[in-house]
Chains A and B, each alone.
Chain A
């Protein structure tokens, strides 16, 4: 007899931008399909961000993050994690237990244009200038 116990989990998947450019919705469905295949109930699945990575992963400098909240049996988590690691389009995954799903997870996903993803070798966005623009800075007289 095995103990059946359902818990809520949060999974952050880092997806390969080369796969994302082929189409966001099919890729998202394929990844969430890994969870449902093992009997998990998807509570929320939305794009978290597309950003430059802190270090290169499989030669990629940028990646798209998919945040999935799901309820699954504790016994099925190992199988889900294994399937995520086998998937070529998932660069990294982080699966942690979560006490409750935040309300923001249920908000509709913002529009995502896969063609607007910057190229991998694109220079980093310039840092915002700290000084306010518009008002000329008054020159202070230097003391002799």
Chain B
């Protein structure tokens, strides 16, 4: 019996949750996972007006933290911006 793990003071028999404590968060200690943002328009290199929303004043690609995109969409965004830069649609450095 000494090996038995007791949580919540053992009142709910070792289960998480219940009256004595909040259920352990699935996403860590600091609250719910950030909701994923979906792109409003296709992430293509030709869609320059939309892509330029995700480029900083210095011409840098915004981070996932700022765009809110999923990993897959963030990679599509980065590739589209890099393609647009190659053919002179977006600047490598600086503003249009």
Contacts and interface: CB of A to CB of B under 8 A. Distances in A.
A63 B89 CA distance: 10
B91 A12 contact: no
17 contacts: A12-B45, A14-B87, A53-B88, A53-B89, A54-B85, A54-B88, A54-B89, A54-B91, A55-B88, A57-B88, A63-B88, A67-B46, A91-B88, A92-B87, A93-B87, A94-B83, A94-B86
A108 B46 CA distance: 19
A55 B46 contact: no
A94 B46 CA distance: 11
Nearest to B89: A54
Contacts of A65: 87
Contacts of B90: 54
A54 B88 CA distance: 5
A94 B91 contact: no
Interface in A51-95: 53-55, 57, 63, 65, 67, 91-94
Nearest to B52: A54
Interface of B: 45-46, 83, 85-92, 96
B83 A96 contact: yes
Contacts of B86: 92, 94
Contacts of A63: 88
A48 interface: yes
A67 B86 CA distance: 15
Contacts of B83: 94, 96
Given A55-B91, A63-B88, 5 more contacts: A12-B87, A14-B87, A54-B91, A57-B88, A67-B46
B96 A54 contact: yes
A54 B95 CA distance: 8
A48 B92 contact: no
A84 B72 CA distance: 31
Contacts of B85: 54
Nearest to B90: A54
Nearest to A96: B83
A91 B88 CA distance: 10
B44 to A, nearest CB: 10
